[in-house]
Amino acid sequence: MRGRAGGLAGALAGLLIWWGATAGAGLVAPALPRSLSLALGGLALAGLAYALAPALFERRPLRWGGLPRGLVVGAALAMAAAVSGWSYAPDTAGLVVAQSRLSGGIAPGWAPLVGVLVAAAHELLFRGALTARLGELGALAAWTVIATPMDPLRGLTTGAVLALLSRRCGLEAAIAAHVGWALAPDMLSMGFTPPIALGITALAAVLAGIPGQPKPEPVTGLSWDREV
């Protein structure tokens, strides 16, 4: 399938893959090592991104200039991540497990290699393949529903920052930001109150939105304005 229909099918496939690797694994196979289920989920999401937009994986000049900014934005997202009051507070054991697995899967800093894999796979799929097929708003909605269904404000704010960074500085910068977010030291997640956390996220958005290197010529399957 091509274009938007393929994007919607890809989003549904991504939902099944990621929910299965996080919440599903925690509920159905709690004995399965968490790092293993996340690694398998990350590999599956990367494969899905390749199926939706093979051009993402073609060799082309890397845009290194946005990487330092991406790491700083990622640290800011980590600072704003552990905030009480943003998310739905489940009152049943199953939902508690699902929320914990989904939340921890976005930035699994306790497993560095897995964190890098998952962060890259997320950006390749959401800010890469799904953005090319569904547009930025469609990809943002998919990110929020798939990655943070019980914490929609967190999904909308972080997804918007990463999308803006990808638009300004390239997908490489968004990957760097997500890797920085995933691997940031625990001391950065200090449990700020929601207003302070939103303020930090707003500063990250300002930093992400500063124009970066000139955007290269569109690659088929990756243009913001062209269907795959």
Please tell me the distance from the alpha carbon of residue 90 to that of residue 75, in angstroms, as a whole number: 28
Q: What is the pLDDT of residue 223?
A: 37
* pLDDT score at 24: 87
pLDDT tens-digit profile of 39-86?
999 999 999 999 999 988 887 787 778 888 898 888 888 877 655 445
Q: DSSP string covering 192-210, please?
A: --HHHHHHHHHHHHHHHHS
CB neighbourhood size of 185 (10 A): 9
Return the domain boundaries, the chain.
Answer: 3-209
Q: Judge whether 87 and 98 are in contact, CB under 8 Å.
A: no
pLDDT, tens digit only, all 228 positions of the chain: 567 899 999 999 999 999 999 988 888 888 889 899 999 999 999 999 999 999 888 877 877 788 888 988 888 888 776 554 455 555 677 777 787 788 888 888 778 899 999 999 999 999 999 999 999 999 999 999 999 888 888 889 899 999 999 999 999 999 999 998 888 766 565 556 666 766 777 777 777 777 665 454 444 444 333 344
Half-sphere exposure of 196 (CA within 13 A, CB side): 11
Structure tokens at 54: 């093979």
What is the pLDDT at residue 45?
Answer: 96
Short-list 59, 2, 43, 64, CA closest to 221: 2
Give residue 7's pLDDT: 92
Q: Global pTM?
A: 0.84
